[in-house]
Structure 1
Amino acid sequence: MTQQVRIMRGWEWARPVRPVRREVLGATPEVEEGRPPLLFVPGFGHGAWAFAEHWLGHAAGRGFPAYAVSLRGHGGSGPAPDATLRAYAHDVVQVAAGLPRQAVLVGHGAGALVVAHALARYPARAAVLVAPVLGGWGTALTALRRNPLGTLPALAGGRLRLSRSQLFSRELPEADARRHAARLGRAARRAQWQLLLGREPEPAVGEPPVLVLGSPDDRVVPAAALTRAARRYGSAPLLFPGMGHDLMLDARWREPVDAILDWLEKDPDPGRG
């Protein structure tokens, strides 16, 4: 006998998330092969542009419909100075629900935490956490130790700042690094506090397969954190030495996205979809 578990979220129903204009960029394959769409979710300060630079077109070239959403207050989405992680997860769920087929959610940095929260509300085909920043006191202490000048303002409600050396490897041309850094914005204060001090996400709906990947040389997310994140989902992290935190913009951007697409082509959970 199958037992159904219903999760009651009365507080959330009483206080629905405020609507906002959402920027969604996309690239589709020349030939439709029925593959699951990918929805890329950027981290704090980044917009959909961070995936439109390389990964969207590359994924479409390999037969996967690919989309990227700018979380509210980021990129071309509407302003949201008081946004919360719940509101960010709501944006992801709403966009994913509007795609033609069950989607694969791909979150980068703090966007991986947003995806983890969205997985409790959306039955994803699979999920990928890229250089995941999954929050909590450990994240706060690591950020303070590795980037005190950039983290302390965020604790006081200011902008969380990351340096060029944290985001990119030395292989990336300086002109490209400056161009990308110039486009960085900021997350809402409440969302930043929740990232550093917040609760863990609820269990994912349907237990989708989850791939965790990153770089052991990431100066934002230590290798031990990648291992912990992967263990949470019953796997080991896939590592790309020599790359910075922003794998999708770094000089060797093809390696991680090809690894993601290779994993999906093997159909990590053939019983879904």
Structure 2
Amino acid sequence: MTASRSVRIMRGREWARPVRPVRREVLSATPELEEGRPPLLFVPGFGHGAWAFAEHWLGHAASRGFGAYALSLRGHGGSGPAPDATLRAYAHDVVQVAASLPRQAVLVGHGAGALVVAHALARYPARAAVLVAPVLGGWGTLGAALRGNPLGTLPALVGGPLRLTRRQLFSRELPEEQARAYVSRLGRAGRRAQWQLLTGRAPEPPVGDPPVLVLGSPDDRVVPAATLTRAARRFGSAPLLFPGMGHDLMLDARWSEPVDAILDWLQKEPTPSA
């Protein structure tokens, strides 16, 4: 585990209501040979910590020459507690860690972490961004969540935890014992952040117009295929799909397929247009 250096990026209007400092857990894997490739900053979804990427994707990215870092959002994993965290606070964490990395970073967000990344892109000029099974919020997200998982979603509307099931997160290919072990590690997001996820405003446009890749599974029981298509269209592209996988692509049985696709895309060296 490595701690990010103290680098601050703040808008003028935020001086009046600064985000409370918190201890941030950042796990990392570095390549044996430094080739000058952009570092990757992985941002997990609600309930997940940096461990979700450390399980497979960090080491795999490093083996292909990319410095890889995973952040536990405040209140998650080994980061400091934050029961009343907001999406703004989560995005602040991402921006601060990204700004501390050796070079302009690629931001990779999963699930609700993709929404956090989308908000961070309005403040941090990323080299590129990847939205994995993105949950981008709003009333459509609430409706889909209530239809697909009413018992797990209703408590979140009154300040309780948002609960996801093994059936939603993983394919049948993942051994049951392993799936249950992962589910047992899930925590919860801040109450305000959960409410903002389900009902909140859309992110501002990204700074510098970075290239954005959207990927997911048409069999995801959290994010419908139509949502993946809409998310990709926002950035002028089509989603990259991995049939047969669950929502947690980085932990599912065929975890190497999506991360290799991400790294192949990045090796084409996309650069911001501004």
Q: Give TM class, smaller chain.
A: over 0.9
Residue 9 of structure 1 and its aligned partner are, at CA, apart by: 5.5
Give the structure-2-normalised TM-score.
Answer: 0.95
Q: How many equivalent residue pairs?
A: 265
In the other structure, the counterpart of 2:49 is 47
In the other structure, the counterpart of 1:141 is 143
Deviations 1:156-191 (A, max 9, x none): 110001110000000001111011111000000000
Q: What is the CA–CA distance in structure 2 between the aligned matches of 1:243 and 1:271, rounded to whole Å?
A: 33
Residue 13 of structure 1 and its aligned partner are, at CA, apart by: 2.2
SS at match of 1:67: strand
Taking a change above 3 Å as real, the CA distance of residues 233 and 271 of structure 1, as seen in their structure-2 partners, is closer
Residue 269 of structure 1 and its aligned partner are, at CA, apart by: 2.4
Q: What is the CA–CA distance in structure 2 between the aligned matches of 1:252 and 1:67, rounded to whole Å?
A: 21
Amino acid of the residue matched to residue 42 of structure 1?
A: P
Q: What is the CA–CA distance in structure 2 between the aligned matches of 1:248 and 1:103, rounded to whole Å?
A: 20
Structure 1 counterpart of 2:120, from 99, 118, 121: 118
SS at match of 1:247: coil
Amino acid of the residue matched to residue 212 of structure 2?
A: V
Write the mapping of 1:10-25 to structure 2, written as runs, cut at 5 A: 11-25=13-27
Give the structure-1-normalised TM-score.
Answer: 0.95
Select between 8-17 and 156-165 the one with higher mean Cα deviation.
8-17
Amino acid of the residue matched to residue 125 of structure 1?
A: R
Write the mapping of 1:45-194 to structure 2, written as runs, cut at 5 A: 45-194=47-196
- Contact 2:210 2:272 (8 Å CA) reproduced: no
Q: What is the CA–CA distance in structure 1 between the aligned matches of 2:84 and 2:14, rounded to whole Å?
A: 16
Q: What is the CA–CA distance in structure 2 between the aligned matches of 1:267 and 1:102, rounded to whole Å?
A: 13
Amino acid of the residue matched to residue 101 of structure 2?
A: L
Q: What is the CA–CA distance in structure 1 between the aligned matches of 2:272 and 2:11, rounded to whole Å?
A: 31
Q: What is the CA–CA distance in structure 1 between the aligned matches of 2:271 and 2:100, rounded to whole Å?
A: 22
Amino acid of the residue matched to residue 148 of structure 1?
A: P
SS at match of 2:145: helix
Residue 267 of structure 1 and its aligned partner are, at CA, apart by: 1.2
SS at match of 2:214: strand
- Structure 1 stretches of 4+ with a deviation exceeding 4 A read 8-11
Residue 271 of structure 1 and its aligned partner are, at CA, apart by: 6.7
Taking a change above 3 Å as real, the CA distance of residues 80 and 135 of structure 1, as seen in their structure-2 partners, is same
- Contact 2:209 2:272 (8 Å CA) reproduced: no
SS at match of 1:128: strand
Q: What is the CA–CA distance in structure 1 between the aligned matches of 2:204 and 2:223, rounded to whole Å?
A: 22
Residue 11 of structure 1 and its aligned partner are, at CA, apart by: 4.3
Structure 2, unaligned stretches of length 5 or more?
1-9
- Computed over aligned residues only, the root mean square deviation of the Cα atoms, in angstroms, reads 1.2
Q: What is the CA–CA distance in structure 2 between the aligned matches of 1:162 and 1:94, rounded to whole Å?
A: 29
Q: What is the CA–CA distance in structure 1 between the aligned matches of 2:38 and 2:61, rounded to whole Å?
A: 11
Select between 171-180 and 19-28 the one with higher mean Cα deviation.
171-180
Task: Using the aligned pairs only, state the percent identity.
Answer: 87
